[in-house]
Structure 1
Amino acid sequence: MSFHRYVALGDSFTEGVGDHDADRPNGVRGWADRLAEALAVRTADLGYANLAIRGRKLDAIVDEQLAPSLELSPDLVTIYAGANDLLRPKVDIDRILGRYDDMLGKLKATGATVVVFTGFDTGFAPVFRHLRGRVGVYNEIVRELVDAHDLVLVDYWRRREYRDYRLWDVDRMHMSAAGHAHMAGLVLDTLGLPHDLPPVVLEPLPVMDRRQQREADLAWARTHMGPWVNRRLRGASSGDGLQPKYPTYVRPDTLAPLG
């Protein structure tokens, strides 16, 4: 199996937030960039587009990213949508996944291989564990959509290694560079594609006593949780004003326009 036109869709997960790289658009790299680079090793003419923008809810992903992705005529699509909806105080899961169903059907109808993700199991995270049941319902419906449309599923919910904090960025909401690197390998493995991505090596966690852990938690709340809550109260998003990293095809190795 080989691919020549890869389009990545979604929110911060796919944009690459947490995998910091000042030399790339929007200041991030991410698993999708890493996946494209690995695919390009075996496909010299691979084109890669990434339309994902952090903070986008499912309706916005459908409204903003579906039509441009269809115009690009990809043969590989990855998409994760709905996580930002699940974080809101209220969400109509059946309604938003009805739109997701329609979007996935249109992507599949192009003949492309479509890769979809379940949501991560938040049960281990103190701040977000109350969302576990909501994410579980979302995941079951996503699995039904995968079966109905014959899609490829990366079951993030079952990846217990992501309970290791070293795979998460300092904001505790997005994957770290190591987490993104590991995810790129998971997607390639799920597709059954050979790759030479090196195994992720994790540095030892610092040893902290209770006082140090409490101080670290308070610092995180001030620096990351507080601003996140404030944006939600104002109806703002970290993605406001951002444009897609790669709205048209680029070469993954040079990031130069394809053509």
Structure 2
Amino acid sequence: MCAESLLPSSGRRVFVALGDSFTEGVGDRDERLPNGVRGWADRVAEKLAKANPGWEYANLAIRSKRLRHVVSEQLEPALAMKPALITLYAGGNDILDIGTDMAVLMDDYEKLVARLAGSGATLVLFTGFDVKVSAVLELLKKRNTVYNQRVREIAAQYGAVLVDYWCLDAFHDQRMWDSDRLHMSKAGHKYLAGQVLDQLGVPHKIQPKEWEPLPRLSLREWEQQQRRWVNDWVVPLFGRKIRGITLGDSLAARWPEPVRVPRKRGLKKVAENRAKATGA
């Protein structure tokens, strides 16, 4: 059941989403939409428009962006849109970088939150999830713990809505994750959209998946999965880090300017109309 709505029913209704791949929608593939993904933020925008027509939506998030990029590339454009609702997840890619100073990172995060909260918009923040992908990444657990504790403190300090992703038990099922094990699957994005909407008091009919238990893998099957994951995802990831490139280098924001979200067929209708207008 949703709580009382935290959002305006009239006046300027603009939702702006900031961040990286988490908010861009990576893992929730849809070739009909910009950058070939959909994601939880698109789903939230569509439910906002369905519950209360007239909402506009911009998504400035781009995969691989660090906190400094969100500040330098997304902050001012977002504030210029005079949003009523802002969502922010940033810093996860910094946690994966060697040499990140967590104290400095979280100080910069707080400064960003202060600017966003000062806009008067309803602000939604997220903790990070402790993804169990490999013992190799267990060294990052301490950083995740620091990040999450500071996000909780900062959310309380600035009156932000907190989606405590760390505590969402549904994400312990591996089917909530894409094949890279770091990004949510379609089911994961859909479930998270429901969690955000619940926190904001927006009605919706998103229901969690009800799956049968996964079959137990043999040792050989498990080893094959591990080798496939390392070859397909881990090796390319470290290769990009060595070369100093990211998957987001050639991408633009999916919805860089606020678009009016149709009550029926949502953002897919917007994308189709754009394609017709450009002859694509």
Provide TM-score, normalisation by structure 2: 0.87
User: In the alignment, does 2:127 pair up with 1:118?
Assistant: yes
CA distance in 1: counterparts of 2:210 and 2:46, whole angstroms: 19
Specify the code of the residue in structure 1 equivalent to 2:121. A
1:209 aligns with 2:218: yes
Match of 2:97 in 1: 88
Matched, 1:240 2:268: no
Q: Tell me whether 1:47 sits opposite 2:62 in the alignment.
A: no
**Contact 2:117–2:158 (Cα < 8 Å) also in 1:** yes
In the alignment, is the contact (CA less than 8 A) between 1:123 and 1:130 conserved in 2?
no
Aligned-residue offset at 1:126: 3.3
Deviates more, 1:66-75 or 1:215-224: 215-224
Provide the residue aligned with 2:193 in structure 1. Answer: 184
Give the drift of 1:91: 0.7
Cα deviations by residue, 1:131-150 (Å, 9 ceiling, x for unpaired): 11111011111112111111
Q: How does 1:1-259 map to 2 (within 5 A)?
A: 1=5, 2-3=7-8, 4-122=13-131, 125-202=134-211, 205-252=214-261, 253=266, 254-255=269-270
User: Are the structure 2 counterparts of residues 166 and 108 from structure 1 closer, same or farther at C-alpha, using a change threshold of 3 Å?
Assistant: same
With 97-106 and 10-19 compared, the bigger mean Cα shift is at 97-106
Contact 2:131 2:182 in 1 (8 A): no
Runs (4 or more) in structure 1 with deviation over 3 Å come to 122-127, 201-207
Q: Distance in 1 between matches of 2:227 and 2:133?
A: 19
Q: Percent identity?
A: 46
- Contact persistence 1:50–1:245 (CA under 8 A): yes
1:59 touches 1:96 (CA, 8 Å); kept in 2? Answer: no
- The one-letter code of the counterpart of 2:39 is G
The 8 Å contact of residues 133 and 181 in structure 2, kept in 1 or not, is answered as no
CA contact 1:38–1:197 (8 Å) conserved in 2: no
Aligned counterpart, 2:277: none
Contact in 1 for aligned 2:51/2:203 (Cα 8 Å): no
The answer to which structure, 1 or 2, has the higher relative contact order (CA under 8 A, 6+ apart) is 2
Given that residues 21 and 28 in structure 1 are in contact (C-alpha distance below 8 angstroms), is that contact kept between their aligned partners in structure 2?
A: yes
CA 1:197–1:55 in 2, change beyond 3 Å: closer, same or farther? same
RMSD (Å), alpha carbons: 1.8
Name the SS for the 1:157 alignment partner. Answer: helix
Q: How far apart, CA to CA, are the structure 1 residues paired with 2:164 and 2:85?
A: 18
Q: TM-score, normalised by structure 1?
A: 0.94
Q: How many residues align?
A: 258
Of 96-105 and 217-226, deviating more is 96-105
Pair 1:35–1:127, CA change in 2 (3 A): farther
Distance 1:221 1:19 in 2: 21
Gaps of 5+ in 2: 274-280
What is the SS of the residue equivalent to 1:227? helix
* Conserved? CA contact 2:124–2:163, under 8 Å: yes
Aligned residue for 1:193, secondary structure, equals coil
1:178–1:202 distance in 2 versus 1, CA, 3 Å: farther
Shift, 1:160, TM fit = 2.2
Query: Conserved in 2, the CA contact under 8 Å of 1:77 and 1:115?
Result: yes
